A and B are shown apart, each in its own frame.
Chain A
């Protein structure tokens, strides 16, 4: 549905993105993840034909952004970054205008589409209010409603939850999740939990380059590197450490300070993708120590993100 090929964009002399290529299948929900100023908005603006790239090209819904910008724009619904709206209009008037913009002209069809989208986004009760009088959460929903109005195959949302309160964020996320299915959704965010909750696949970009692209699960396991097992054991710390180090596959054993006399927490670092919990528990119990707790520490998307986007 969306295909970007070697997109590069310079603003004057500053490079915004460089050689960005990716492919998004029909029906996927993909998150564009990156710190601020990584180039997310630039990529999105190129895909929506708001800005042309300096070099490279993209195809959206099979149409080239250079050759058929109008067709591209017809097949997308777009929520820009700061959610700009014509705030002096009422919700109904605004949606009516958007309907006409997107080529829906028949009166019955307009009414049908508008009421459907208002239902979907939960803005029916504010339909006659002026947009500038609405709360931020409602404005966001109006923004999503205008993107949805012509039932586009592709939905592009630029930071859809920015500036909302936690409750509104959850509502917006649920809304986006419900919109998936038939539609292809590309959303950008710098908030990780959001992407891991809503999206099936993530494209992580940093300083204008794609640093990783994968499903959320694969990304987590691939980048995990070494596995950490946290154990809490009752017994002499020196002896326990020795016993743990003897287990095959264990690379390193650390004791979490402060070291106490009897009960201590240990971090056992093992080889990649080797789950040694069984061996460790057997060994500890056989050696006569008390095993109080054992668990695997998963690396969160947050840590992966930091690992990918910070220079060491």
Chain B
């Protein structure tokens, strides 16, 4: 039950501070721009090919709008999520309020999951707005709803992974700026780490391919729900959450 109070407090702080407004605004602007560019391009192309029946029927709005939109939203999230996660523990540590929070009768895990879910909620609000664009466009274009839903699920899983990395870094430092920079660096590294799989040779290439956050994301906007990807993201989330909880306990022991 205390979990809900911490959750409410975190959400409130996000909007009071007003980092949530800023991040949501920027994200909406960028994704709006991307959506506009993609759909404008799509309409030009479909107009051009409207006289030729064969290429016209292969032009799918899912391929040309939804997939790139969700790809770009994933990249944008990579940039903005560190700004949401940076304050979660760093600020409390710097202001000393962590001592207040940790001496109230509630478990470390309750505090952690409340913070995690508050950040995820902001992320959900932020990414739901571009979905409205798709709903509007649905009046004229036929989208495959399953693909949209699947892409959205992928985005949430990816966001959850970024958030769990961000909270871990936030629990390690008192400086919000340092927390944001390191989170961004690590997330980006995990995003592109698949690039080296070609170089390192067959022995390790599978490994690097596997731990790349990007490689597991690719399937979702295609409309493929692979349990391997699902489990991969969930395990990333739980792995970093586990580490954060360990950090919180070990900080206590080291003082």
Chain A residues at the B interface, C-beta cutoff of 8 Å: 9, 11-12, 16, 42, 45, 48-52, 70-71, 73-74, 76, 78, 80-82, 84-89, 93, 97-98, 100-103, 105, 146
Contacts and interface: CB of A to CB of B under 8 A. Distances in A.
A97 B13 CA distance: 12
6 contacts: A12-B255, A48-B103, A51-B252, A78-B100, A84-B95, A89-B12
Given A85-B100, A101-B2, A101-B105, A11 B254 contact: yes
B106 interface: yes
Contacts of A100: 2, 4-5
A80 B17 contact: no
Contact of B99 (A11, A84, A103): A84
Given A70-B106, A80-B103, A103-B105, A50 B12 contact: no
A144 to B, nearest CB: 13
B246 interface: no
Nearest to B1: A105
B104 A82 contact: no
Interface of B: 1-2, 4-6, 8-9, 12-13, 16-17, 95-100, 102-107, 252-255
A31 B155 CA distance: 56
A85 B97 contact: yes
Contacts, number: 76
A103 B9 CA distance: 15
Given A45-B99, A71-B105, A86-B13, 13 more contacts: A12-B254, A50-B99, A51-B252, A52-B253, A73-B104, A80-B103, A84-B96, A86-B100, A88-B16, A88-B17, A89-B16, A102-B104, A103-B105
Given A9-B255, A105-B1, A70 B105 contact: yes
B13 A88 contact: yes
A185 to B, nearest CB: 16
A101 B5 CA distance: 7
Residue in A9, A12, A51, A93 with the greatest tally of chain B CB atoms within 10 Å: A51
Contact of B106 (A11, A82, A97, A101): A101
Nearest to A105: B1
Given A73-B104, A100-B5, A82 B12 contact: no
Contacts of A101: 2, 5-6, 104-106
A146 B99 CA distance: 13
Contacts of B1: 103, 105
A73 B102 CA distance: 9
A87 B100 CA distance: 13
A80 B100 contact: yes
Nearest to B92: A84
Nearest to A143: B100
A74 B105 contact: yes
B103 to A, nearest CB: 5
A84 B100 contact: yes
Contacts of A11: 254-255
Nearest to B4: A100
B104 to A, nearest CB: 4
Contacts of B13: 86, 88
A55 to B, nearest CB: 12
Contacts of B96: 80-82, 84
